[in-house]
Amino acid sequence: MSKQSMSIDQVLALYDRDQRQEVDYFDVRREVTPYVTRLLPLSDLEPEGAIIHSRLDEANVDQVIQAEVAYFEELGIDLEWKVYDYDRPPDLRARLVAHGFQAEEPEAVLALDLNEAPAILWRPVTPDVRRISGPDEVQHVKEVEEAVWHEDFGQLAQRLAQHLLQDPGHLSVYVAYVGELPVSAAWIVFHEQGQFASLWGGSTRPDYRQRGLYTALVAIRAQEARRRGVRFLAVDASPMSRPILEKYGFRWLTYAHACKWPARPTQPGGVATRQQIGQRRQVG
């Protein structure tokens, strides 16, 4: 890997290409049109589709929004349109809201150049953190998420289990234990193309925070990524985790705004929405 330092703009350009335009995920089909890049679920385990990149201007933006809503409604799939601060036109988020989308709170997109990561991330991980591989062990992730969010994460557990069974080379799931109690969980997704791996999860039971478990989970994933030749880690960070990650060298790239369009009724209590948040946010 090159040791040359990269500017924020250079990293953001790579992120835009690798994580938005050309990224692939398990059990999802990527569709590229002249105007948007879509992700469509290939099974019921993925609760919604997404638009992760757009190429719009003042002349076509409203027409494309209407066409995409119609497309997803015809498929009967909920839509999350992910808007980044640098997207064009500059008022894209406001236009989506005007068309009836519900905008969620923004999340900070952070990236870590592993060539510049601090020494603390390369130290041996001392808490009891285990990489899990079997569907039965994935239930420990479910236990942690439900203890934190007090909602049903059965669908998330099923999807992680299926991913580990069918495509284990691109997913690593880690759980931290105190005794035999699972208390924190996180995972990392590797991609076939590009220079990024993406961090997900990071939930910790409230009674077990401030024990270094979050740091241990970041470190063990960073160490695996470096062994596999990945240069950058990317994460959509919650306000709780952002200062911790920035302390370890993660740099802010932009803000991302999830704009939701439900093509079908949501589950009681907003379970699908929370599960998506739980998959992406680093809770701490």
Cα(181)–Cα(251) distance, rounded to whole angstroms? 33
> 14 near 4, Cβ under 8 Å?
no
Cα(54)–Cα(21) distance, rounded to whole angstroms? 9
The two three-digit tokens of residue 101, written as one number: 């989308």
Q: What average pLDDT does the segment 93-122 reach? A: 97
Angle between helix 135-149 and helix 271-280 axes, rounded to 10 deg:
110
Residue whose entry in the numeric block shows the structure tokens 């015809």 = 74
> 230 near 86, Cβ under 8 Å?
no
Residue 5: predicted pLDDT: 86
Q: What percent of the chain has pLDDT over 90?
A: 85
Contacts of 177 (CB under 8 A, 6+ apart): 128, 129, 130, 183
Whether 275 shows a pLDDT value over 60: the answer reads no
Whether 267 shows a pLDDT value over 80: the answer reads no
Whether 187 shows a pLDDT value over 70: the answer reads yes
Mean pLDDT of the residues in the chain: 91
> 261 near 101, Cβ under 8 Å?
yes
| Angle, CA of 189, 194 and 196, to the nearest 5° | 45
Report which DSSP code applies to 169: G
What separation in angstroms does the CA of 233 have from each of 96, 218, 254?
Answer: 29, 10, 15
Query: In 3D, which of 60, 111, 117, 51 has the Cα closest to residue 84?
Result: 51
Query: Using one digit for the tens of pLDDT, what is the confidence trace for 195-228?
Result: 999 999 999 999 999 999 999 999 999 999 999 9
Structure confidence at residue 36 as a pLDDT band (50, 70, 90)? very high
Structure confidence at residue 280 as a pLDDT band (50, 70, 90)? very low
Whether 169 shows a pLDDT value over 70: the answer reads yes
Whether 272 shows a pLDDT value over 70: the answer reads no
Structure confidence at residue 134 as a pLDDT band (50, 70, 90)? confident
Residue 254: predicted pLDDT: 98
Query: Using one digit for the tens of pLDDT, what is the confidence trace for 49-87?
Result: 999 999 999 999 999 999 999 999 999 999 999 999 999
Query: In 3D, which of 104, 183, 180, 174 has the Cα closest to residue 145?
Result: 183
Among 75-89, 133-147, 150-164, 268-282, the range scoring the smallest mean pLDDT is: 268-282
Structure confidence at residue 273 as a pLDDT band (50, 70, 90)? very low
Cα(99)–Cα(70) distance, rounded to whole angstroms? 12
Structure confidence at residue 270 as a pLDDT band (50, 70, 90)? very low
Whether 194 shows a pLDDT value over 70: the answer reads yes
Q: What average pLDDT does the segment 170-188 reach? A: 98
Residue 3: predicted pLDDT: 62
The two three-digit tokens of residue 148, written as one number: 């934190």
> 18 near 192, Cβ under 8 Å?
no
